[in-house]
């Protein structure tokens, strides 16, 4: 009796094991033989070709035909990251430059060479690339090769980056786009930093890094998921927007309009557009109204109940300066007539708030 029971138990265990979580898993294979296909036709196989790299770019390497797939990938990785490769380091440092200045030294970040535009400062590009690969100009830190942080530091401590954005007519006439960096090029910040900045100023920003993200859409289990934007937000949603669980095709209904790319696409460079829908979102969305409220609360808490002090503090938090005499008078009137939150709502919509200059 015990034995039959035992058999039944074991059989059940076996079945249960068979119902364990399914996974899609890849399997390593011996690479197939590759033929050159005449005119790209799958049925017109010509001579066998061995794995290789783009010989027009940089180094030639040789990968034996019988190399395993792991060996092939390693060879490709080594080729890409070889310090003598003309593209890799230049492309990387150009991207970093683009993030700090709004436009790269090459303004076609995914197209170097014939299909792209020329670097505005080729020697600078080369120098930064060589600093990435072979750091020389150490700023007193333990810097290793391929350290992005090193390049970030070089850029943001440079005189170029720390320039004022003040304009003058003569320079504008020659280089309106500031491509030659005669000033720091002012620009509107992207969607995510706008949201982060609003949360920062309202005092609600949760800087916790890592872990599961947050959702800006209501939970939905439909056969075809419906994305309904959340109308109410709590502390879970007050993290940096980089932690938003971003559905591929659906943009956030407040900040998406600020040129968030379609998440199903690569976007080496974002467009910058100015549209009335952006204005409507920033003026009227639930998120904004709620944050304007929190901003006002913070100002009251920090600066007390005197409108003069409140106005001064609100400007300090949003713009890092004192209001001009004209602004002070107008702000006081707005606060007197409609409350501190009205002022906060306006400050969060101002050009000065969303432009970096």
Query: Of residues 200-229, which lie at the interface with other proteins (CB under 8 A)?
Result: 222-224, 226-227, 229
Nearest residue to 308 (alpha-carbon basis) of 298, 299, 317, 295 = 299
Nearest residue to 34 (alpha-carbon basis) of 67, 77, 70 = 67
CA–CA distances in Å: residue 314 to residues 231, 239, 298, 305: 26, 22, 9, 13
283 scored as a contact of other proteins (CB under 8 A): yes
- Beta carbon of residue 230, minimum distance to other proteins (angstroms, whole number): 12
| Minimum CB distance to other proteins smaller for 135 or for 193 | 193
Which position among 88, 94, 278, 310 is part of the footprint of other proteins (CB under 8 A)? 278
Which position among 257, 299, 303, 340 is part of the footprint of other proteins (CB under 8 A)? 257
CA–CA dist 343, 297 (Å, integer) = 12
CA–CA distances in Å: residue 255 to residues 17, 236, 260, 314: 46, 17, 8, 23
End-to-end CA, the chain: 84
- Beta carbon of residue 116, minimum distance to other proteins (angstroms, whole number): 7
Binding to other proteins in span 42-101, by CB under 8 A: none
CA–CA dist 351, 356 (Å, integer) = 9
CA–CA dist 105, 127 (Å, integer) = 12
CB atoms within 10 A of CB 354: 19
Residues contacting other proteins: total by CB under 8 A: 76
Q: Which stretch binds other proteins (CB under 8 A): 15-23, 104-112, 133-141, 147-155?
A: 104-112
Binding to other proteins in span 308-337, by CB under 8 A: 324, 326-327, 330-331, 334, 337
Evaluated on CA atoms 226, 229, 234, 240, the torsion sign reads positive
CA–CA distances in Å: residue 301 to residues 225, 237, 251, 298: 42, 23, 34, 5
Which position among 131, 190, 196, 259 is part of the footprint of other proteins (CB under 8 A)? 259
- Beta carbon of residue 195, minimum distance to other proteins (angstroms, whole number): 14
Q: Which residues of 171-192 are buried (b: 16+ CB within 10 A; e: fewer)?
A: eeeeeeebeebbbbbebbbbbb
Binding to other proteins in span 113-142, by CB under 8 A: 114-118
CA–CA dist 302, 151 (Å, integer) = 38
- Beta carbon of residue 179, minimum distance to other proteins (angstroms, whole number): 11
| Minimum CB distance to other proteins smaller for 35 or for 333 | 333
Burial of 4 (0-12, 13-18, 19+ CB in 10 A): exposed
| Minimum CB distance to other proteins smaller for 133 or for 343 | 343
CA–CA dist 43, 342 (Å, integer) = 70
Which position among 279, 304, 306, 356 is part of the footprint of other proteins (CB under 8 A)? 279
Q: Which stretch binds other proteins (CB under 8 A): 82-90, 109-117, 207-215, 298-306?
A: 109-117
Which position among 37, 139, 180, 277 is part of the footprint of other proteins (CB under 8 A)? 277
Residue pair 298/347 in contact by the 8 Å Cβ criterion: no
Q: Which stretch binds other proteins (CB under 8 A): 41-49, 129-137, 206-214, 262-270?
A: 262-270
- Beta carbon of residue 248, minimum distance to other proteins (angstroms, whole number): 7
Q: Which stretch binds other proteins (CB under 8 A): 53-61, 136-144, 147-155, 250-258?
A: 250-258
Which position among 138, 289, 304, 356 is part of the footprint of other proteins (CB under 8 A)? 289
CA–CA dist 39, 42 (Å, integer) = 9
CB atoms within 10 A of CB 343: 26
Which position among 80, 234, 352, 356 is part of the footprint of other proteins (CB under 8 A)? 352
| Minimum CB distance to other proteins smaller for 127 or for 217 | 217
Binding to other proteins in span 145-204, by CB under 8 A: 165, 167, 172, 176, 186-188
Which position among 244, 281, 291, 310 is part of the footprint of other proteins (CB under 8 A)? 281
Which position among 244, 254, 291, 310 is part of the footprint of other proteins (CB under 8 A)? 254
């Amino acid at each position: 009796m015990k034995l039959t029971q035992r058999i039944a138990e074991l059989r059940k265990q076996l079945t249960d094991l068979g119902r364990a979580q399914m996974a899609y898993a890849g399997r390593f294979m011996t690479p197939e033989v590759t033929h050159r296909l005449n005119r790209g036709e799958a049925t017109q196989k010509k001579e066998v070709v061995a794995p290789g790299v783009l010989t027009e770019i940089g180094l030639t390497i040789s990968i034996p035909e019988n190399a395993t797939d792991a060996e092939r990938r390693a060879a490709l990785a080594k080729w890409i990251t070889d310090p003598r490769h003309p593209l890799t380091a230049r492309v990387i440092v150009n991207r970093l430059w683009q993030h700090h200045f709004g436009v790269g030294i090459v303004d076609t970040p995914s197209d170097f060479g014939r299909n792209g535009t020329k670097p505005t400062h080729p020697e600078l590009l080369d120098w930064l690339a060589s600093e990435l690969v072979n750091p020389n100009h150490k700023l007193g830190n333990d810097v290793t090769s391929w350290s992005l942080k090193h390049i970030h530091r070089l850029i943001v401590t440079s005189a170029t980056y720390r320039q004022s954005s003040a304009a003058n007519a003569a320079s504008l006439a020659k280089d309106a786009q500031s491509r030659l960096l005669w000033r720091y090029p002012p620009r509107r910040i992207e969607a995510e930093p706008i949201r982060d900045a609003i949360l920062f100023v309202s005092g609600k920003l949760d800087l916790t890094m890592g872990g599961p993200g947050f959702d800006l859409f209501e939970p939905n289990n439909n056969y075809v998921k419906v994305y309904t934007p959340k109308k109410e937000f709590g502390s879970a949603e007050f993290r940096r927007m980089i932690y938003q669980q971003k559905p591929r095709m659906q943009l956030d209904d407040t900040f998406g309009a600020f040129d968030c790319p379609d998440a199903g696409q690569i976007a080496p460079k974002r467009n910058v557009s100015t549209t009335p829908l952006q204005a409507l979102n920033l003026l009227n969305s639930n998120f904004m109204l709620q944050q304007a409220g929190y901003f006002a609360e913070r100002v009251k808490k920090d600066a007390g109940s005197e409108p003069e002090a409140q106005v001064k503090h609100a400007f300090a938090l949003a713009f890092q300066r004192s209001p001009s005499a004209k602004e002070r008078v107008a702000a006081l009137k707005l606060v007197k007539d409609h409350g501190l939150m009205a002022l906060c709502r306006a400050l969060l919509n101002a050009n000065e708030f969303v432009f970096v200059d």
